[in-house]
Structure 1
């Protein structure tokens, strides 16, 4: 069972990584997974929260930071060392089939911390702002999906790594949004 699931994961990885290869994706998707590319968005979120919500905005930012910290801790420091799955870009059996689009990194693959963190942020923001701004639902989910998909395309994660990260991150984002709603200041 595990072997057939892993074989499916490798086949799906290659269909995305090699099968969808094109110059536009080769240019765009490495950018989509780069934290510096998204820095203006993160800065906008901070400024928006503080400007629009004042003291309550600082609580939102604090909970966002807490959300990312929990996601990163669980995915990178707890689960990855326990599972110890080699990244596809470091898997010698795939060496001849890989297209090097970004540096591989030396860490483990399962789950994707990018997927965990971005789905955690997305779900937290959805639960906090959905009542006032409905478009956040598709925008945040598409944003997190593109970042996660990019991880597969560039060759640093298998599809199951990103799916597990998305599930873990979504769970964290939902949980921290409930915590936020319980402790938020009444301003």
Structure 2
């Protein structure tokens, strides 16, 4: 059963990765860089302070950072434990895929997926009562994680599990944040 799932994951990755078009490579390489999203992070911070005010905004920001940090810790720990090679480092795939980046760290689960979904979910949960448009923020992690397949560094299961883990941690972080805010 596990081997069948791995085979499906591999085949889906190859299919999706090969949908890439060379003239769009620059866009997807830009999108996959964390630095490209700094303006969005600054917007999230601004909105937290705008809607919550100084002290409560600082608490929301702190819990966003704690959620992000916990997500990174769990992601890195899992990657070292599972030790799954990235598709760009699998020799058998080298002639079957387009590779635009070549990281040598492990693949499972995606840190881009876990961290982007953790931050976005936390921000959406924290701001949804103030702004109905905040759900559009999910465009960021969706585009961000698709870029990881496009550039050839993550299997779909890496992304799916990363998104699930990040979202779950965000719910826990938001719960703790709400409890803290209620004490003020």
**For this structure pair, what is the TM-score category when the shorter chain's length is used for normalisation?**
over 0.9
CA distance in 2 between counterparts of 1:173 and 1:51 reads 21
How many residues of Structure 1 are paired with residues of Structure 2 in the alignment?
A: 183
Q: Which residue of 2 aligns with 1:39?
A: 38
Residue 51 of structure 1 and its aligned partner are, at CA, apart by 4.5
1:126 aligned to 2:124? Answer: yes
Q: Which residue of 1 aligns with 2:158?
A: 161
Residue 185 of structure 1 and its aligned partner are, at CA, apart by 6.1
Q: Which residue of 1 aligns with 2:14?
A: 14
Q: Is the 8 A contact 2:44 2:123 kept in 1?
A: no
Residue 98 of structure 1 and its aligned partner are, at CA, apart by 2.6
RMSD: 1.5
CA distance in 2 between counterparts of 1:161 and 1:154 reads 14
CA distance in 1 between counterparts of 2:66 and 2:72 reads 10
CA distance in 2 between counterparts of 1:165 and 1:63 reads 20
Q: What pairs up with 1:46-65 in 2 under 5 angstroms?
A: 46-52=45-51, 53-65=53-65
Q: Could you state the TM-score of these two structures normalised by the residue count of structure 1?
A: 0.92
Unaligned runs of 5+ residues in structure 2 are none
Q: Which residue of 2 aligns with 1:112?
A: 110
The farther-off stretch of 35-44 and 49-58 is: 49-58
Residue 81 of structure 1 and its aligned partner are, at CA, apart by 1.2
CA distance in 2 between counterparts of 1:130 and 1:47 reads 15
Unaligned runs of 5+ residues in structure 1 are none
| Structure 1 residue runs of 4 or more that deviate by more than 4 Å after TM superposition | none
Q: Is the 8 A contact 2:114 2:165 kept in 1?
A: yes
CA distance in 2 between counterparts of 1:145 and 1:81 reads 25
Q: Is the 8 A contact 1:116 1:165 kept in 2?
A: yes
Residue 50 of structure 1 and its aligned partner are, at CA, apart by 3.1
Residue 47 of structure 1 and its aligned partner are, at CA, apart by 3.1
